[in-house]
Structures are given as structure tokens and as C-alpha cells.
A and B are shown apart, each in its own frame.
Chain A
């Protein structure tokens, strides 16, 4: 069965600092990979996704993620964090190909931003 690990439960960074959120997955083949963000009291918003091709993926709000097959990782990065980025971030995987689009989510990483 597929699984997603986000090793950091909570991360605190200063505004303007760079950010990297870690995500590792366990799956037989390369799955579809996603990052979602959840602001307090809100639903999940898609930041970016990777299906195939270029391993560096650009998303909304200045985020990017890099797929590394050898490390089974899909880490999320942002060069300069803004206070409005404080939220919870979820990595998710889905089986590749058409058909079932069931997502398996990680437990999430809560990001706090110090002004």
C-alpha cells in the first residue's frame, strides 16, 4: 500500500527566509504527486502537481517542488516566505495513470512565520 511521510510536524521560519518542506513516499511505481495548502478554517488548495517530465515543478504563490526518484521524495520549496504563507501543507500521492484518483495524504506540516 502506498504511504506518504512528512517528517516535520511543525516548522517555524522568519519572514523572508527560504523554506523547504519534506515529503517522502512509498509506492511501487512513480505515483502522481501533489502538494496542497490549508489555511485555518479553510479547505485544501492545490499548490502544484507532478505527473511526469521535468522534475522541477512550478506552482502557485511562488512555490516549487522537485521530484527525486532515487530518494522517493517530492520536497516543496519557496525562496522567500511571506507571513501569509503560514498554513498547513499536505503532500499527497495517487496511483499513476487513468482510473482511480484516490489520494493518500501525509499527516501535514504546519508552517509558522515569524514577522
Chain B
């Protein structure tokens, strides 16, 4: 198995632009999590899905952030418009029972 796949691995954009991060979970995993990691705040849970349904989005910073999971093999995290304070590493993780498996992350820089 290829593990959790995220794309792009790096993204540099300008303030105000739309950014879309993509995640392909491990086949057969029923839950998917989006995290953000910064030096100041550490790892923060943004949102998670169970069987493609959003369960808890209380960690989503504001309305500029949205996430979708149209099917069991694909999820997106969108930021529109992006701001410099959104610069971070964004991780996707999928779950086999109680254990989360993380993707390599997308490093986002908003100028």
C-alpha cells in the first residue's frame, strides 16, 4: 500500500489566492483527518470525516477554510482567500480502527 498520499507537497501562493490541498487516504480506512502544524500552535485538528461525512469541523479556523470528501478515496481542503497566517504544514491522516496513519504533508507558504 502506498500509504496516505497528499498533493501538492509544496505550495507557494500570494495572499488572496485560492489554495486547494488534496488527500488520498489508505484504501479501506473509514475516517479521515486534516491537521495543521505550525511552530507556534503545534498540531491542530481542523476537521475529520467518518464514512465521507464531516463529523467535527470545530477546528476549522474560519469560513475561509472548507473541506470536502466526495468519496472514500479523496478529500480536499480549500482556503479561499488565503492569508499569510495560513502558512503551515497541512497533514491528512486516515484511520484503521483506533490508529491514525499520516501523509507526508503539504507545506504551504502564503506571501
Residues on A facing B (Cβ under 8 Å): 32, 34, 36, 42-46, 49, 51, 90, 94, 100-103, 105-108
Smallest CB separation, A41 vs chain B (Å): 8
Interface of B is mostly: strand
Closest 10 CB pairs of A and B: A43-B102, A44-B102, A105-B43, A43-B104, A107-B42, A101-B95, A43-B105, A43-B103, A101-B98, A32-B98
Q: A94-B98, A105-B43 are in contact. Are A42 and B104 (CB under 8 A)?
A: yes
Q: Which chain B residues (20-58) contact chain A, with CB distance < 8 Å?
A: 31, 33, 42-43, 45, 48, 55-56
A-B pairs with beta carbons under 8 A, tally:
43
CA distance A103 to B93 in the complex (A): 11
Chain B residue with Cβ nearest A105: B43
Number of B interface residues in the complex (CB < 8 A): 21
Smallest CB separation, B78 vs chain A (Å): 21
Apart from the given pairs A90-B43, A100-B55, 19 other A-B contacts in the complex at a CB distance below 8 Å: A32-B98, A34-B99, A36-B102, A42-B105, A43-B104, A43-B105, A46-B100, A46-B101, A49-B98, A49-B99, A51-B98, A100-B56, A102-B48, A103-B45, A103-B100, A105-B43, A106-B42, A107-B42, A108-B43
